[in-house]
Amino acid sequence: MNNKNTNAILLFYILSSFLLMTITSVVFSATSYAGNMPAHATNQLINCTPVAITCSATVTTTIAPDGSLWRLWTVKDSLYYDKSVDLGKSFDQVKRVDIPPEKISSRGENRPKIAIDKFNGIYLSWAQPLAKRFSANIRFTYSPNGQHFMPAQTVNTDGLDTGHSFNEMLVDDAGTVSLIWLDRRQAVYAKSRGDDYNGSAIYLAQGKVANNTIVFSNQKLVDTTCVCCRLSLTHNADNNLALAWRHIYANNIRDHALLTLDDKPFQSHRFSRDMWQINGCPHQGPSLSIDQRNRYHLVWFNQGDNGKGVFYTYSDNLGVDMSKKQVVGDNNKQASHPHIYAFDMRVDIVWLEFDGTLHQLWHKVSHDNGKTFQAASLLSTSLTKADRPFIIGKGNQRLVSWHITSNEHRIIPL
């Protein structure tokens, strides 16, 4: 064999090996740990396996009290989860939640939720779509050890075939489960009386697991909210529940409000006044984070006459008074879907932009408790469809969870 043929065969072997390694990496690397370097996706799609995280439209993550990182996702009417003890560098074996398959909302603002207690008990909640369009039930299950989950049960107690969705969940140190969601039962009641009802209500359910069961209360907190924007729920420095949402004000103005469950009667406070008049739902809810000094930090998206884009503000008196709003991101590049985390004088904000080609994940940080922010930095990009970003925080540990649909789930330290 002459040298020319030998070189050609060798070149073919090298190129074939490189192509095989590339394909293998694309197919089997479902999670990337980006470190502090920007990560960039390709247009290649990962082949799905029956339980792969890449087959899900959304991923929900949380950091447990022991510092482990947990992920929850859905594939074909089943819930799956895994755990990392090195903050996303590697994950243990994927486990299926052992309840009968059922429909599970897993899209955009409406996705399953996971919480972990100090004993590594696992709490899950989700919205279960029903046959009637836009109708669903809020569902819940629990496992003390991940081996077996209690039978799933419906949280809303009205028994109506109407909307119950966009659930958020917290579990406190005493094991009290708190769930909020958007609820359309008030619209059903109003219609039966011949009255009109605009939007949804927010309902709260609370309970504790005992003897492998839980009994949930149901309490209405507020009326006339947007019907399909996510809620934000957290504890404040006094361990009171606080929530933020997109509210419907007069003339269909879709601005934002917050409420602290510290006394009765409850008093909500409007924290955005962008005057976005729209007879529809923007599918973009606010994000609330509260630091140890009880400063409420908020970010949101609007396209109103008094404000277009993503904004930040804070309050030191439970929302009665707000700081001057600050612009976050570039509205000319469709800045959207902000999320926030505040701890120990540091405030982190992430959001998405699109430059016509790349979906971009951006980050801003403040080291003076929200007074000023450093210049924005680009964390990551994707050529393919991307989910909303979320900051998962525990103390001074901050990670960004960003799911690239049909490609990979990224864990990015801040």
DSSP string, 116-184: E-TT--EEEEEEEE-SSTT-EEEEEEEESSSS--PPPEE---S--SS-EEEEEEEE-TT--EEEEEEE-
Between CA 288 and CA 328 the distance in angstroms is 15
User: Is the distance from CB of 360 to CB of 351 less than 8 angstroms?
Assistant: no
In degrees and rounded to multiples of 5, residue 10 shows phi and psi of -65, -40
Residue among 22, 1, 19, 21 at smallest CA distance from 9: 1
Between CA 274 and CA 307 the distance in angstroms is 5
User: Is the distance from CB of 356 to CB of 330 less than 8 angstroms?
Assistant: no
In degrees and rounded to multiples of 5, residue 275 shows phi and psi of 60, 50
CATH 2.120.10.10 fits 59-106+110-228, yes or no: yes
Residue among 165, 140, 167 at smallest CA distance from 154: 140
Residue among 298, 302, 276 at smallest CA distance from 289: 298
Residue among 167, 252, 173 at smallest CA distance from 216: 167
State the pairing for strand pair 177-183/164-171. Answer: antiparallel
Task: Give the type of residue at 306.
Answer: N
Between CA 376 and CA 338 the distance in angstroms is 13
Predicted local distance difference test score (pLDDT) of residue 25: 30
pLDDT tens sequence for the chain (414 residues): 443 343 343 333 333 333 323 322 332 336 788 775 566 655 455 566 778 898 899 999 999 999 999 999 999 999 999 999 999 999 999 999 999 999 999 999 999 999 999 999 999 999 999 999 999 999 999 999 999 999 999 999 999 999 999 999 999 999 999 999 999 999 999 999 999 999 999 999 999 999 889 999 999 999 999 999 999 999 999 999 999 999 999 999 999 999 999 977 789 999 999 999 999 889 999 999 999 999 999 999 999 999 999 999 999 999 999 999 999 999 999 999 999 999 999 999 999 999 999 999 999 999 999 999 999 999 999 999 899 999 999 999 999 999 998 789 999 999
To the question of pTM greater than 0.85 for the whole model, the response is: yes
CA 225 to chain centroid, in Å, comes to 19
Residue spans of the domains in the chain: they are 37-47+236-401+410-414, 59-106+110-228
Between CA 140 and CA 176 the distance in angstroms is 14
State the pairing for strand pair 377-382/39-40. Answer: parallel
196 exposed, middle or buried (CB, 10 Å; 0-12, 13-18, 19+)? Answer: exposed
DSSP string over 57-117: S--EEEE-TTS-EEEEEEETTEEEEEEESSTTS-----EE--S-------BTTB--EEEE-
Provide the CATH number for the domain formed by 37-47+236-401+410-414 in this structure.
2.120.10.10
Residue among 82, 26, 24, 88 at smallest CA distance from 51: 82
> Alpha carbon of 26 to those of 131, 197, 311, 380, 405: distances in Å?
37, 50, 36, 17, 13
Predicted local distance difference test score (pLDDT) of residue 281: 85
